[in-house]
Structure 1
Amino acid sequence: MAQTKKQKMLAEKLGDNQAVHGFDDALKLLRELKTTKFDETVEVSLNLGVDPRHADQMVRGMVVLPSGTGKDVKVAVFARGDKAEAALAAGADKVGAEDLLEDMQNGNLDYGRVIATPDLMGLVGRLGKVLGPKGLMPNPKLGTVTPNVAEAVKAAKGGQIEFRVEKAGIIHGGIGKMSFSDEALKANFDAFVDAVVKAKPSGAKGKYLRKAGLSSSMGPGLKLDVAQVHGA
């Protein structure tokens, strides 16, 4: 089958697909290969030496990307009274209790983060079957069940993202947009990798950070030199 012009360009630019790159070189190559008109997300993948089927090898956490995400995160908060007012003042998109529960039960789940005060978790628990599969269930370990909902809202709006290892031991995360500067993306990359390294579980054996890759929404996946990865 004949190659398209784009495929030929990719093949020429990529060369040996087994090659590994430093972060700066990989990002430069992604920029050179960009052919889309929209602002693509830059994504990191980390292959870890864990088996998440075992509870003591689960890797999950939150990290604040210092340069932000480039996305407007919609935040819903379960709170009443002063806490509800504080959440709204902090920029929450939707705040409520029984009314928010009913709204979500009716299928209105267009949120990137759901936060709750501890006293309303009994109410939120009724949404386990709809919030759980979407990764939106509030969790005290992730700081999304908290009496300080205002700070949680500010963090969600200010570049905080969640990471969680998948079945194959891989973590994926968006670290910003192609329109970001090299320095901004590098700062986000370092923060993301550092958080994953610090979240190393007690049950992890042998080499923890095994492989790393960098890609964009529509671009190729490039292998990173793990020896140069921050925190490795």
Structure 2
Amino acid sequence: EALRLVRACAVRGYDEGVSVDVHLNVDAKRTEERVRGQVMLPHGQGKTVRVAVFARGADADAARAAGADLVGAEELVAEVLAGRLDFERVLATPDALPALAKAARVLGPKGLMPNPKRGTVVTEVAAAVQQAKAGQVEFRAQNQGVVMVGLGKVSFGADRLADN
């Protein structure tokens, strides 16, 4: 019923985003109660995601073939340090992490620094790029135990929003 009301209550002149906020009965400050993960939305969020991949050699070629927007190692780190941040997701291979450490002060505060716990340090680069482009969404509980995730756009309709 709520998803049907979303379309009826949309009053803006543009395609509004739809998100869900779930209050969980967890204490996010306790490590054993942390909620964090990734999920594939079958219909995506309704926006294109620009993916940057820090990799070398064959992994870099695989990332380009899979559709990554920016690929590189030291040269891409230099661009990030110069202020180029026109991407939403960052993936890295384990061998590129030492070069990426220089950009940690730039990427970290924006939540873009690759981390094995978040699943952004990958060995299967092509599959990870395809999933990021297809609508993979990261979620985590905030301090008060609230998980907020965008489900899509109003134009999706109730069926596609329910699938997501």
CA distance in 1, matches of 2:76, 2:125: 16
Q: Deviations over 1:8-44 (max 9, x none)?
A: xxxxxxxxxxxxxxxxx11222211111121111100
Contact (CA 8 Å) 2:74, 2:100: kept in 1 or not? no
CA distance in 2, matches of 1:30, 1:185: 10
| One-letter code aligned to 2:96 | L
Q: Deviations over 1:145-185 (max 9, x none)?
A: 11111111100000101001111111111011111132111
Please list every run of 5 or more consecutive structure 2 residues that lacks an aligned counterpart in the other structure: none
Output the TM-score relative to the length of structure 1.
0.68
Partner of 2:100: 124
Coordinate RMSD, CA, aligned: 1.1
In the comparison of the two structures, how many residue pairs are matched? 164
Partner of 2:144: 168
CA distance in 2, matches of 1:52, 1:134: 20
Higher helix residue share: 2
Find runs of 4+ consecutive structure 1 residues off by over 3 angstroms. Answer: none
The 3-state SS of whatever aligns with 2:103 is helix
Partner of 1:148: 124
CA distance in 1, matches of 2:92, 2:22: 30
Contact (CA 8 Å) 1:143, 1:152: kept in 2 or not? no
Among candidates 10, 14, 32, match of residue 56 of structure 1: 32
Output the TM-score relative to the length of structure 2.
0.95
CA distance in 2, matches of 1:47, 1:174: 15
| One-letter code aligned to 2:52 | A
**1:106: how far off?**
1.2
Please list every run of 5 or more consecutive structure 1 residues that lacks an aligned counterpart in the other structure: 1-24, 189-232
